[in-house]
Structure 1
Amino acid sequence: MISALFVSLVLSSLVSAHGWLNSVAIGTQTFKGNVPNASPTASVIRQINDVDPVKGANNSFLACGQNAQSATQVASANPGDNVAFSWVNGDAGPWVHNTGPMMTYMASCGDQNCSSFDVSTASWFKIQEQGRVTPGGAWAMSLMNSGAPANVTIPSNIAPGNYIIRHELLALQIAQTLGGAEWYPACVQLQIGGNGTGAPTSDELVKLPGAYSDSDPGVLVDAYSNPNADYVFPGPQVAAFVNGSSTGTADANSTASASGSATAASTSAATSGSSGSCMKKKKRAADQAQLPRPRTVSRVMKNIVIA
Structure 2
Amino acid sequence: MYASILLLPLMLASYVSAHGFVHSVAINGQTFTGNRPSGQRNNRDTIIRQVRTQDPIKGARNPDVNCGAGSFVAPDVANANPGDTLAFDWRTADLSFWPHNTGPVITYLADCGNVACSEFDSTKARWFKIHQDGKKANGGEWVQADLMQGGKVNAKLPENIRPGNYLVRHEIIALHLAQNQGGAEFYAACAQIRIGGSGTGVPTEDELVSFPGAYSDNDAGILVRNVFDNRLDYQFPGPRVSRLAGTGAPAGDSTPSSTKTGSGSKPTSTSSSGNGNGNGNSGSTSGPKKTCRLKKNSSKSAGAAASTGEVYPRHISRVMRRLAFEGLDAHHSS
**Shorter-chain TM-score range:** 0.7 to 0.9
C-alpha spacing 1:229/1:244, structure 2 compared with 1 (3 Å): closer
Contact 1:16–1:90 under 8 Å retained in 2: no
C-alpha spacing 1:59/1:39, structure 2 compared with 1 (3 Å): closer
- Distance across 1 between alignment mates of 2:202 and 2:217: 29
Partner residue of 1:263 out of 259, 266, 280: 259
- Distance across 2 between alignment mates of 1:88 and 1:102: 14
Matched residue, 1:19: 20
Matched residue, 1:95: 98
Q: Aligned runs of 1:249-288 on 2, under 5 Å?
A: 255-256=253-254, 260-264=256-260, 270-271=274-275, 273-274=279-280
Q: Per-residue displacement from partner, 1:176-229 (whole Å, max 9, x unpaired)?
A: 111000011100000000001111011110000000000001100024442212
Contact 1:123–1:206 under 8 Å retained in 2: yes
Q: Secondary structure at the match of 2:76?
A: coil
Matched residue, 1:217: 220
- Distance across 2 between alignment mates of 1:9 and 1:135: 32
Q: Which amino acid aligns with 1:175?
A: A
Query: Scaled by the length of structure 2, what TM-score is found?
Result: 0.73
Q: Secondary structure at the match of 1:115?
A: helix
- Distance across 2 between alignment mates of 1:92 and 1:15: 16
- Distance across 2 between alignment mates of 1:12 and 1:43: 32
Q: Which amino acid aligns with 1:132?
A: K
Matched residue, 1:31: 32
| Percent of aligned pairs with the same amino acid | 47
- Distance across 1 between alignment mates of 2:139 and 2:33: 35
Give how far 1:28 is off.
3.6
Q: Aligned runs of 1:152-231 on 2, under 5 Å?
A: 152-231=155-234
Give how far 1:42 is off.
1.0
Q: Which amino acid aligns with 2:145?
A: S
Query: Scaled by the length of structure 1, what TM-score is found?
Result: 0.79
* Structure 1 portions without partners, runs of 5+: 1-5, 276-303
C-alpha spacing 1:268/1:63, structure 2 compared with 1 (3 Å): closer
Give how far 1:79 is off.
0.4
Q: Secondary structure at the match of 1:208?
A: coil
C-alpha spacing 1:225/1:145, structure 2 compared with 1 (3 Å): closer
Contact 1:16–1:91 under 8 Å retained in 2: no
Give how far 1:90 is off.
3.0
Q: Which amino acid aligns with 1:36?
A: P
- Distance across 2 between alignment mates of 1:30 and 1:268: 17
* Structure 2 portions without partners, runs of 5+: 1-6, 263-270, 282-330
Verify: 1:120 aligned to 2:118, yes or no: no
Q: Secondary structure at the match of 2:83?
A: coil
Give how far 1:16 is off.
4.9
Q: Secondary structure at the match of 1:165?
A: strand
- Distance across 2 between alignment mates of 1:216 and 1:181: 11
Contact 1:106–1:163 under 8 Å retained in 2: yes
- Distance across 1 between alignment mates of 2:69 and 2:135: 27
Give how far 1:12 is off.
7.0
Give how far 1:78 is off.
0.3
Give how far 1:262 is off.
1.0
Q: Aligned runs of 1:144-155 on 2, under 5 Å?
A: 144-155=147-158
Q: Which amino acid aligns with 1:59?
A: N
Q: Which amino acid aligns with 2:178?
A: A
C-alpha spacing 1:254/1:138, structure 2 compared with 1 (3 Å): farther
Give how far 1:254 is off.
6.4
Q: Aligned runs of 1:62-77 on 2, under 5 Å?
A: 62-77=65-80
Verify: 1:83 aligned to 2:86, yes or no: yes
Tell me the matched-pair count.
Answer: 263
Matched residue, 2:241: 238
C-alpha spacing 1:269/1:112, structure 2 compared with 1 (3 Å): closer
Matched residue, 1:281: none
Give how far 1:242 is off.
1.4
Q: Secondary structure at the match of 1:145?
A: helix
Give how far 1:138 is off.
0.6
Contact 1:70–1:115 under 8 Å retained in 2: yes
Q: Which amino acid aligns with 1:42?
A: D
- Distance across 1 between alignment mates of 2:227 and 2:254: 24
- Distance across 2 between alignment mates of 1:101 and 1:69: 25
